[in-house]
Amino acid sequence: MSKKKIEISKFITPGDFFAVIVVLIGIITAIIFEEIAIRMIGVSIAILGAVALFMLISQRLSEIVEPRYSKTNENQPEFKMTTTKDSSAKRQTVEDFENSFGSDDDYPIQINPIQKNDVIESIDNKIIVSVNKENSEINQNTSNFNDGFSGMRIVGKIKPKNIEVISKDSEKAQNYSKSSDIKEKISYTQTVSENISTTETQKQTLNNKENLFENISKEIIEKQDIKPIEKIEEESEKIAVNKISEPISDDNSQKFTYSGKIIDLPLNMLTETDILLGDEPRKEFEYFLTRVLTIIRSSTDTRTALFFLFNSRDQELILESYVTTIPQSLKSQLKFKLSNDIISQIISNSKPQILSEINPAAELDLIPYYSTTSNTCSLIGVPVFWGEGVIGVIVADSTSSNAYDSSTVAFLGHFTKLVGAIVKSYTHKFDLLQASKALESINMFYSFSQSIPTENDNISDRITNTLKTLFPNANIGLCGYNSETDSWQIKSFRGYSNDLTGLEINIEDSVIGDTIYQCKTFSLQPYDKTNHIRVYPQEKDLQGQFVSVPIKSKTQIYGAIFVELIVDESFSEFDISIIELIGDHAGNSIERIYLSETLQSSALVDYNTGLLNPIAFYNRINEELLRSSDFKTNLTLCLFKFDKYSSLDPSKFPDRFDYAVQLIIQRIRKFLKSYDIYGNVSNDMYGILFIGKNSNESKLIAERIRTDVANTIIEHSGGKFSITISMGCCSPTKDFDIDLLIKDTIIGLNQAYENGNQVQVLY
């Protein structure tokens, strides 16, 4: 292996001439003057100057680290380069980059399996290699030892100081070489021993091992016309490698000395400290992208490595990740509109470009991500393709002139495929995560509308809570119609500003009003110049994107949902589609609730309980109250509720509670006359109108009902339970006002319900 010549002229600086002058002065002084003392001084000066010159040059030589392996252009694509030069910089454009690295399909991994008959063993630091016929055929006409047909493979590496090769007897090897027709087993040990015994190369080192094997093959072919090996048994003669500490005593052995280095690295450099969250694709994306840029910066003469993601919809570049030594020089903004800079040109042309000889006056115009001039001398940008379009750009810059060439383009070209796959994987995973959240919210709406079909007031909170889980960095509100005040107001609000629940909205001049009137989605960006009010006049300036979506069904519109980001971000098309999907399902849920209420109010009798529904019960009370006023008969209204028990909690055990209610309602019927009115007041309140009975008589019947209910044992799902009721009774006043009668009866019921299992009569 030839040594590299060092050119001393490259390491001499103008400051070294001072030391040369000192040496010349000392030599001249020693020659001209005749006094011994002055001559000694001149010699000393010359020696000191020479020593100083040697120390300066040797220090520079020691600071130079050359690569151990030279670069090779093997298997690298040859690019067609176009070079242009103007006042700003010198440009090199790669014309045929897109198809140089294959398609986006997965590359098959080729594995070279170990042959069936190859035997590789390792016993007590001794490596034993057995070679079969197929892997060890030697060409008779070839005199060089070629690893391509030798059949040997490197299994591992060891670092011994002394290696002893034990051979067979030399006489046996010589007898073997004299035979003309050999079909017996042969080994590399015998070949090595034959060469050692017939040549004078016993003191060769490992650097001459290629010549050793070449001489072996020549010796075998020249001395004996050995035919190609036809058969070698599975168990051949073996090469034994003794332990390092074993001394060398045989004359036929060779001693080799290796030198090695031990690098002591702290454990934390090899240990991963970052945490990857499986449910957070954004963190995983940033993690892998930063590692790729770190490899690029450490493998090339690069100061800053960046990746820009291209947003084709808004025609802008998004800085996703960067690795740099000058973070203070980078701009704080993350989005850059396409312009005339070098990165925008790479996106437009879809071709890699290399800049060199950059004019400092044009640096900020060419490089958009630096805020100040940073002495950039070289820059390279490579587009990232996936499918048929460009999805991003990998950028690297350096302070060295001509730091990048076509080899760097080929090097970064392999990373473009990796980064493209990472971007697509992140996009797909994020879409799946959002879709799963949307499906979960739809299931929540469905279960809500099925379980509580009449409490439409709570659906507003359910909608805003669901959207808050999807968009945590946003203010979310729902605008609906209030029939009592005949106005539109915010029914529910979740966000970081003041609570807007109950705030009336002017839909004549607001984005929310336009959404309700036109029944379509509206979106506003911070840079949109508009005087429209988003929700109410006193709102703050828009920081992020604002989206307003109608809550609608096929026949009606019930309000609008607004989502406003509080940071400088924007919604994707997929995000807006999810909000619209939730608005559609919320409208259908509200419509089903209203339809259920309409059916219940229009029917006289509840299909499940057989009781009069609230409207029919109210009308019957009013009829009997008028009859009692005309005919001067007695009348008493009794209302009752079920007391709370943990074993019959409707939120935890709805089936058990419904069974108990149905059972108790049917048992109460046996205490009533056929002309008594039995109906439903609300979800948890029931009523009995006793005809022809005063308060005292009604109280006695109510006590009998209460006692019977308390003594009833309810069996359900293998368990036994009991429940009690609280009852309130009241007779009409002289005015025979139905609203006053119901109000007084509810007061008596609340007093009994506070104590539990009682009957309270309000006179």
Of 7-11, 371-375, 699-703, highest mean pLDDT: 699-703
pLDDT level of residue 58 (50, 70, 90 thresholds): confident
Task: Show the beta-strand stretches assigned E in 605-654.
Answer: 635-642
Each residue's pLDDT tens digit, 482-520: 888 888 999 999 988 788 888 888 888 889 999 999 999
Residue 159 lies in a domain: yes
676: its two tokens: 């008594």
- Please tell me the predicted confidence (pLDDT) of residue 582: 86
Whether pLDDT at 710 is above 90: yes
The one-character DSSP state at 486 is: T
pLDDT level of residue 530 (50, 70, 90 thresholds): low
Last residue of a domain, one of 231, 262, 293: 262
Residues 47 and 189 in one domain: no
Residues 235 and 362 in one domain: no
Q: Residue 724: give its domain's CATH number.
A: 3.30.70.270
Residues 219 and 315 in one domain: no
Task: Report phi then psi at 61, rounded to 5.
Answer: -65, -35
Three-state DSSP string of 11-68? HCCCCHHHHHHHHHHHHHHHHHCCCHHHHHHHHHHHHHHHHHHHHHHHHHHHCCCCCC
The one-character DSSP state at 711 is: T
Are 665 and 609 contacting, i.e. CB atoms less than 8 angstroms apart? yes
The domain in which residue 199 lies consists of 124-262
Between 290 and 95, where is the model more confident? 290
- Please tell me the predicted confidence (pLDDT) of residue 415: 86
147: its two tokens: 């690893």
Burial class (CB in 10 A: 0-12, 13-18, 19+), 581: middle
Whether pLDDT at 468 is above 60: yes
Distance, CA of 302 to CA of 309 (rounded, Å)? 20
Distance, CA of 325 to CA of 328 (rounded, Å)? 9
Sign of CA dihedral 280, 283, 287, 292: positive
Residue 444 lies in a domain: no
- Please tell me the predicted confidence (pLDDT) of residue 496: 81
Each residue's pLDDT tens digit, 589-632: 888 878 877 776 677 888 778 899 888 999 999 999 999 999 99
Residue 50 lies in a domain: yes
Distance, CA of 736 to CA of 424 (rounded, Å)? 75
Three-state DSSP string of 63-122? CCCCCCCCCCCCCCCCCCEEEEECCCCEEEEECCCCCCCCCCCCCCCCCCCCCCCCEEEE
Distance of CA 121 to the CA centre of its chain: 44
- Please tell me the predicted confidence (pLDDT) of residue 125: 38
Each residue's pLDDT tens digit, 422-435: 888 888 887 787 77
Whether pLDDT at 164 is above 80: no
**Side chain identity, residue 3:** K
Distance, CA of 697 to CA of 636 (rounded, Å)? 9
Q: What is the DSSP string of 644-676?
A: P-GGG-TTT-HHHHHHHHHHHHHHHGGGS-TTS
Last residue of a domain, one of 236, 262, 288: 262
- Exposure pattern of 203-226 as b/e (b: 16+ CB <10 Å)? ebeeeeeeebbebbbebbbeeeeb
Residues 490 and 594 in one domain: yes
Are 481 and 488 contacting, i.e. CB atoms less than 8 angstroms apart? yes
Three-state DSSP string of 116-174? CCCEEEEECCEEEEECCCCCCCCCCCCCCCCHHHHCCCCCCCCCCCCCCECCCCHHHHH
Of 64-73, 206-215, 548-557, highest mean pLDDT: 548-557
Asked whether the whole model's pTM tops 0.85, one would answer no
Residue 253 lies in a domain: yes
**Side chain identity, residue 383:** P
Burial class (CB in 10 A: 0-12, 13-18, 19+), 546: buried
Task: Report phi then psi at 190, rounded to 5.
Answer: -65, -40
Residues 31 and 153 in one domain: no
Residue 446 lies in a domain: no
pLDDT level of residue 7 (50, 70, 90 thresholds): low
- Please tell me the predicted confidence (pLDDT) of residue 561: 94
Residues 422 and 335 in one domain: yes
CA distances in angstroms from 556 to 116, 202, 550, 594, 665, listed in the order given: 76, 101, 11, 11, 38
Residues 246 and 285 in one domain: no
Between 164 and 306, where is the model more confident? 306
Residue of 97, 57, 745 whose CA lies nearest to 385: 97
Residue of 305, 288, 289, 285 whose CA lies nearest to 297: 305
Each residue's pLDDT tens digit, 375-417: 899 999 999 987 778 889 999 999 988 889 888 888 888 888 8
Between 233 and 647, where is the model more confident? 647
Residue 540 lies in a domain: yes
Residue of 381, 388, 390 whose CA lies nearest to 358: 381
Residue of 669, 680, 81 whose CA lies nearest to 407: 81
**For residue 122, what are the β-bridge partners?**
127
- Please tell me the predicted confidence (pLDDT) of residue 163: 39
Last residue of a domain, one of 577, 600, 623: 600
Distance, CA of 389 to CA of 6 (rounded, Å)? 49
Q: What is the mean pLDDT of the chain?
A: 75
Residue 577 lies in a domain: yes
Distance, CA of 635 to CA of 730 (rounded, Å)? 9
Residue of 343, 339, 349 whose CA lies nearest to 308: 343
3-state DSSP assignment of residue 471: coil
SS3 content of the chain, % helix, strand, coil (to 5): 40, 20, 40
Residues 423 and 477 in one domain: no
- Exposure pattern of 495-514 as b/e (b: 16+ CB <10 Å)? beeeebbebebebeebbbbb
- Residue recorded with tokens 């002591």: 264
Residues 184 and 284 in one domain: no
Neighbours of 150 (CB within 10 A): 15
Residue of 384, 386, 378 whose CA lies nearest to 347: 384
Residues 229 and 368 in one domain: no
Q: Residue 388: give its domain's CATH number.
A: 3.30.450.40
Residue 33 lies in a domain: yes
Domain count, the chain: 5
pLDDT level of residue 225 (50, 70, 90 thresholds): very low
State the pairing for strand pair 557-565/304-311: unpaired
| 595, HSE (Cβ side, Cα atoms, 13 Å) | 11
**For residue 637, what are the β-bridge partners?**
689, 730
Distance of CA 404 to the CA centre of its chain: 32
Task: Report phi then psi at 285, rounded to 5.
Answer: -60, -45
Residues 283 and 359 in one domain: yes
Distance, CA of 233 to CA of 562 (rounded, Å)? 82
- Residue recorded with tokens 């319900």: 753
Each residue's pLDDT tens digit, 288-324: 888 899 999 988 999 999 999 888 878 889 998 899 9
- Residue recorded with tokens 């939730």: 582
- Residue recorded with tokens 């020693």: 30
Cβ contacts of residue 674 below 8 Å, gap of 6+? none
Distance, CA of 283 to CA of 281 (rounded, Å)? 6
Residues 408 and 345 in one domain: yes
